[in-house]
């Protein structure tokens, strides 16, 4: 889905802020936060089980992805930021207060939320936030990759954290900052 637009930090904040605080808005906010801070693919996100992020009521520092839910069936692991761990703890407490689901994002009849439902929710939230770009779950994946690059993380680590198999597949996510590139060239002596 390379046709989706990237988000700026301000747009991502607006997107998350447009969710609200009641009912399924709590779920929607968690969806957006997990997307934005892990770079998961939509199929990976909807297939998350509670036990992959919470153990004994505490957020886990590492997310272990099942081989069955990842592209190319490789599995993988991702660090989970402390702030996201805390949000996940609160979310799971809320979720368990009304659902006995095993899925982090439950759908109907004991199944997990479907990818299409997530796509539609994100589109609706982007509209509510007044963002006029084409925003999809993939936009949040691009946001994650760009934030890694902005943090000056080496390309190999970006590939690993975003679970890209090659630099060729990663390059679709990269946005060149012309001013930064010029400054880097000028700094070479």
65 token code pair: 């992805």
Residue 64 annotated as catalytic = no
Catalytic-labelled residue, pool 41, 112, 121, 142? 41
Catalytic-labelled residue, pool 27, 29, 112, 141? 141
d(C-alpha 153, C-alpha 97), whole Å: 39
d(C-alpha 67, C-alpha 148), whole Å: 24
Residue 91 annotated as catalytic = no
Residue 173 annotated as catalytic = yes
Catalytic-labelled residue, pool 29, 142, 163, 173? 173
75 token code pair: 């599995």
d(C-alpha 124, C-alpha 98), whole Å: 25
Catalytic-labelled residue, pool 27, 29, 138, 142? 138
Residue 171 annotated as catalytic = no
SS3 88: helix
Catalytic-labelled residue, pool 64, 74, 133, 134? 74
Buried b (16+ CB within 10 A) or exposed e, 52-68: bbbeeeebbeebebeee
Residue 74 annotated as catalytic = yes
Provide the 8-state DSSP code for 84: H
| Cβ atoms of residues 126 and 138 within 8 Å | no
Residue 9 annotated as catalytic = no
List active site positions: 41, 74, 138, 141, 164, 173
């Amino acid at each position: 889905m390379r046709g989706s637009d990237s988000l700026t930090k301000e747009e991502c904040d607006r997107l998350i802020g447009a969710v609200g605080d009641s009912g399924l808005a709590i779920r929607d906010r968690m969806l957006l936060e997990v997307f934005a801070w892990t770079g998961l693919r939509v199929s990976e996100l909807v297939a998350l089980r509670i036990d992959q992020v919470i153990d004994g009521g505490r957020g886990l520092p590492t997310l272990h992805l099942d081989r069955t839910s990842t592209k190319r069936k490789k599995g993988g692991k991702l660090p989970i930021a402390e702030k996201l761990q805390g949000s996940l703890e609160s979310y799971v407490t809320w979720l368990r207060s009304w659902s006995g689901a095993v899925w982090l994002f439950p759908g109907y009849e004991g199944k997990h939320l479907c990818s299409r439902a997530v796509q539609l929710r994100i589109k609706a939230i982007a509209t509510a936030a007044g963002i006029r770009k084409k925003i999809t779950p993939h936009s949040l994946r691009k946001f994650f990759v760009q934030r890694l690059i902005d943090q000056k993380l080496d390309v190999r680590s970006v590939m690993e954290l975003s679970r890209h198999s090659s630099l060729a597949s990663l390059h679709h996510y990269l946005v060149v900052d012309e001013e930064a590139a010029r400054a880097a060239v000028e700094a070479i002596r």
